[in-house]
């Protein structure tokens, strides 16, 4: 039986990517560490986020490829989705990924106590109380609680499905509305459209994937329209959901000053990701919440210096790769009293729509705001042999560099393997590779990453700014 203590050097609330990385690093530095997890270890990413979404994206890819197989002389019957099997496959892959991550075993091997006794809440700035009643005190507390989806505060919101519960839909919906065209919503749009559902996507923002480079938003939205997805961006607001007489859901929204409504079998609300702070008792610890997240400084310290907010909880870069390096840095700052920061400008990210998209670094508007003379080159996938060979000509890579072409400031891609292409550019950026070195790298033939060399050479060909 585990011999739990009353006091630890470090208490970590949440065993997602942030909490796991933080706890392992703190233990490596010699701290006594406890991890308090209310649900399954692994957090959003593996249980309800990235991993299930990626399995759905693979399923979507399979059905699209099967539909086109006859072009290659492969004769197959028109494919359809067996929803129960699709859901079972997602769950099976999630379990398999969980089995290789082995968080609980790694904690045990590192001497970390993992306590599963419900949710943790602050009683004061050094004391946490679990649902079971157990009290834990710690010299440093790392809040790694992640977030949860947001239901709009409108009548009938309870009829909507939030992204974490998409797999609980009883059957594949014929008509789907996705509210919110961020990373989560856009990917679900592609999944359901590929599965054969009629999809409408609505967003208050003027374009899909609003934080991405505008060229990415434009390309993904054009592809959606070509796939007969009803794209409604820049709407004035969503008003209500109501049960329709046929058992469906009537969604009412305002657009261009007029009220509109339509019926759907499922309405998915992918409208944001507030931190999971509602019942955390933060006020008892003197920690504030601003715009649904816990403000933290560059070293992840909250206003209370021995309490840190890490990963999705601080609302900064809600990505696994950010959560992990923030967790490690925060652990070092907590245990060693260090001031370690993290390289947030080098965070590649993307999603599996049709076509895929990805980006790293500054968008073109951000780069131009800093220096209007920055140089930009875009190479279309239709000029890349491998993309033509594979019939994947839709897409591009955009590279942005400083006027002297010494630094790559950003890279944005749409198309097949966009994320892998962007990852290679990220490696070059992390290594401080200048554009002429990148232009001279040899790329294997025929590859998608060859587009990187082409874009680098295109950047060099541009006239220097006057």
Ligand X SMILES: Cc1cc2nc3c(=O)[nH]c(=O)nc-3n(C[C@H](O)[C@H](O)[C@H](O)COP(=O)(O)OP(=O)(O)OC[C@H]3O[C@@H](n4cnc5c(N)ncnc54)[C@H](O)[C@@H]3O)c2cc1C
Please identify which residue in 210, 242, 303, 383 interacts with ligand NAD, judged by CB under 6 A. 210
What residues numbered 318-357 form the site for ligand NAD, per CB under 6 A?
Answer: 318-319, 349, 351
Q: How far apart are CA 96 and CA 76, in angstroms?
A: 30
Count residues contacting ligand NAD (CB under 6 A)? 23
Q: Which does 416 bind (CB under 5 to 8 A by kind): ligand NAD, ligand X, none?
A: none
Confirm or reject binding of residue 454 to ligand X (CB under 6 A). Answer: no
Tell whether residue 53 is a contact of ligand X (CB under 6 A): yes
User: x-or-dash pattern for ligand X, window 362-401, by CB under 6 A?
Assistant: ----------------------------------------
Q: How far is CA 371 from the centre of its chain?
A: 29
- The Cα–Cα gap between 409 and 160 comes to 40
Q: Angle 14-286-290 (CA atoms, 0-180°, nearest 5)?
A: 75
CA distances from residue 405 to 412, 418, 454 in whole angstroms, order as listed: 17, 23, 15
Cβ atoms 420, 395 nearer than 8 A: no
107 is a site residue for ligand NAD (CB under 6 A): no
SS3 assignment, position 314: helix
Does 358 contact ligand NAD by CB under 6 A?
no
359: contact with ligand NAD by CB under 6 A: no
Residue 234 CB, nearest distance to ligand X (Å)? 24
Q: How far is the CB of 298 from ligand NAD (least distance, A)?
A: 19
Closest residue to ligand NAD, judged by C-beta, is 182
The set of residues, in sequence order, having a beta carbon less than 8 Å from that of 226 and lying 6+ positions away, is none
Q: Does residue 197 interact with ligand NAD by CB under 6 A?
A: no
Complex with ligand NAD: residue 126 or 250, whichever CB lies closer: 250
For 251, the token pair is: 């969604």
Binding residues for FAD: 312
Contact call for residue 274 and ligand NAD (CB under 6 A): no
d(C-alpha 130, C-alpha 14), whole Å: 12
> With CB under 6 A, what is the number of residues at the site for ligand X?
35
Task: Name the residue with tokens 């309800």.
Answer: 48
Interface residue with ligand X among 27, 191, 318, 330 (CB under 6 A) is 318
Q: Which of 10, 27, 50, 454 binds ligand X (CB under 6 A)?
A: 50
By CB under 6 A, residue 36 contacts ligand X? yes
Residue 236 carries which DSSP code?
Answer: S
- Judged by CB, which is closer to ligand X: 325, or 381? 325
* Interface characters, 270-309, with ligand X (x: CB under 6 A): ------x---x-----------------------------
Residue 355 interacts, among ligand NAD, ligand X, none and using kind-specific CB cut-offs from 5 to 8 Å, with none
In the complex with ligand X, the residue whose CB is nearer, 11 or 450, is: 11
- Nearer of residues 194 and 250 to ligand X, judged by Cβ: 194
Burial 320-346 (b: 16+ CB within 10 A, else e): bebbbbbbbbbbbbbbeeeebebeeee
The residues facing 104 across adjacent strands are: none
Q: What ranges in 29-168 are assigned the alpha helix state H?
A: 43-47, 50-67, 83-101, 103-109
Decide whether 163 or 248 has the Cβ nearer to ligand X: 163
CA angle (187 as vertex; 186, 191 as ends), nearest 5: 120
Residue 147, Cβ density class (10 Å: 0-12 exposed, 13-18 middle, ≥19 buried) = buried
359 lines the binding site for ligand X (CB under 6 A)? no
CB of 292 to ligand NAD, least distance (A): 10
Q: Which helix (H) or strand (E) holds 225?
A: helix 214-226
- Residues contacting 426, CB < 8 A, separation 6+: 346, 348, 360, 411
The residues binding ligand X (CB under 6 A) are 13-19, 36-39, 43-45, 49-50, 53, 119-120, 144-146, 163, 184, 276, 280, 311-313, 318-321, 323, 349
The residues binding ligand NAD (CB under 6 A) are 152, 179-185, 202-205, 210, 237-238, 270-273, 318-319, 349, 351
């Amino acid at each position: 039986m585990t011999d739990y203590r009353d006091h630890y050097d470090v208490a970590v609330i949440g065993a997602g990517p942030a909490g796991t990385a933080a706890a392992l690093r703190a233990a490596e530095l010699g701290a006594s560490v406890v991890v308090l997890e209310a649900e399954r270890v692994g957090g959003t990413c593996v249980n309800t986020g990235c991993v299930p979404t990626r399995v759905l994206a693979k399923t979507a890819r399979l059905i699209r490829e099967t539909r086109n197989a006859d072009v290659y002389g492969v004769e197959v019957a028109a494919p359809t989705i067996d929803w129960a099997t699709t859901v079972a496959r997602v769950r099976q892959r999630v379990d398999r990924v969980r089995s290789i991550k082995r968080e609980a075993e790694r904690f045990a091997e590192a001497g970390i106590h993992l306590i599963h006794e419900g949710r943790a809440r602050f009683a004061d700035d050094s004391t946490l109380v679990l649902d079971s009643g157990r009290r834990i005190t710690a010299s440093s507390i790392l809040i790694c609680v992640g977030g949860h989806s947001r239901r709009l505060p409108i009548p009938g919101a309870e009829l909507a499905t939030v992204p974490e519960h998409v797999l609980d839909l009883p059957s594949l919906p014929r008509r789907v509305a996705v509210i919110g065209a961020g990373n989560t919503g856009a990917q679900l749009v592609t999944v359901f459209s590929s599965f054969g559902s009629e999809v409408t996507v609505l967003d208050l923002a003027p374009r899909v994937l609003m934080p991405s480079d505008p060229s990415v938003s434009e390309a993904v939205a054009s592809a959606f329209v070509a796939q007969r997805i009803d794209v409604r961006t820049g709407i004035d607001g969503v008003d209500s959901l109501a049960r329709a007489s046929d058992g469906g859901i009537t969604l009412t929204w305002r657009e261009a000053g007029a009220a509109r409504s339509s019926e759907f079998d499922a309405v998915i609300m992918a409208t944001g990701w507030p931190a999971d702070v509602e019942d955390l008792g933060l006020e008892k610890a003197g920690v504030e919440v601003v715009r649904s997240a816990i403000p933290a400084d560059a070293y992840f310290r909250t206003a209370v210096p021995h309490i840190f907010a890490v990963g999705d909880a601080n609302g900064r870069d809600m990505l696994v790769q950010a959560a992990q390096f923030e967790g490690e840095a925060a652990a070092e700052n907590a245990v060693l009293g260090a001031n370690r920061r993290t390289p947030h400008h080098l965070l590649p990210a993307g999603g599996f729509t049709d076509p895929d998209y990805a980006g790293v670094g500054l968008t073109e508007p951000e780069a131009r705001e800093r220096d209007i003379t920055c140089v930009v080159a875009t190479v279309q996938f239709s000029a890349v042999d491998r993309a033509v060979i594979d019939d994947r000509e839709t897409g591009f890579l955009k590279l942005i560099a400083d006027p002297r072409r010494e630094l790559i400031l950003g890279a944005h891609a749409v198309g097949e393997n966009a994320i892998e292409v962007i990852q290679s550019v990220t490696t070059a950026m992390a290594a401080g590779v200048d554009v002429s070195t990148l232009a001279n790298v040899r790329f294997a033939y025929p590859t998608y990453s060859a587009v990187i060399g082409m874009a680098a050479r295109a950047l060099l060909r541009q006239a220097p700014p006057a």
